[in-house]
Copies of this chain bind each other. A is one copy, B any other.
Amino acid sequence: MTDVLNPAQLRAYFGLMEVVSLLQYAVREQLHAEGGLSYVQFEILAKLAHTDQPLTMTDLADGVVYSRSGLTHQAGLLQKQGLITRSASPDDQRATVVHITEEGRARLDTVLPGHIQVVRELLFDSLDERDVRTLGDMMGNARDHMRSRPPRSAAPRNRHTGTAVEK
Copies of the chain in the assembly: 2
Give me the 10 closest cross-chain CB pairs, A-B, nearest first.
A15-B139, A126-B145, A12-B136, A20-B20, A11-B136, A12-B135, A26-B151, A3-B113, A21-B65, A22-B146
- In the complex, 22 of the A-B residue pairs with CB atoms within 8 angstroms, ordered by the A residue number, are A3-B117, A5-B120, A5-B124, A8-B136, A9-B119, A12-B139, A13-B119, A15-B143, A16-B135, A17-B23, A18-B63, A19-B142, A19-B143, A22-B147, A23-B146, A26-B151, A29-B153, A118-B152, A123-B142, A126-B138, A126-B142, A127-B142
Chain B contacts of A121 at CB under 8 A?
149, 151-152
* CB of A102 closer than 8 Å to a CB of B: no
Please report the C-alpha to C-alpha distance between residue A92 and residue B104 in the assembled complex, in whole angstroms.
53
* CB of A4 closer than 8 Å to a CB of B: yes
* CB of A140 closer than 8 Å to a CB of B: yes
Chain B contacts of A141 at CB under 8 A?
126-127
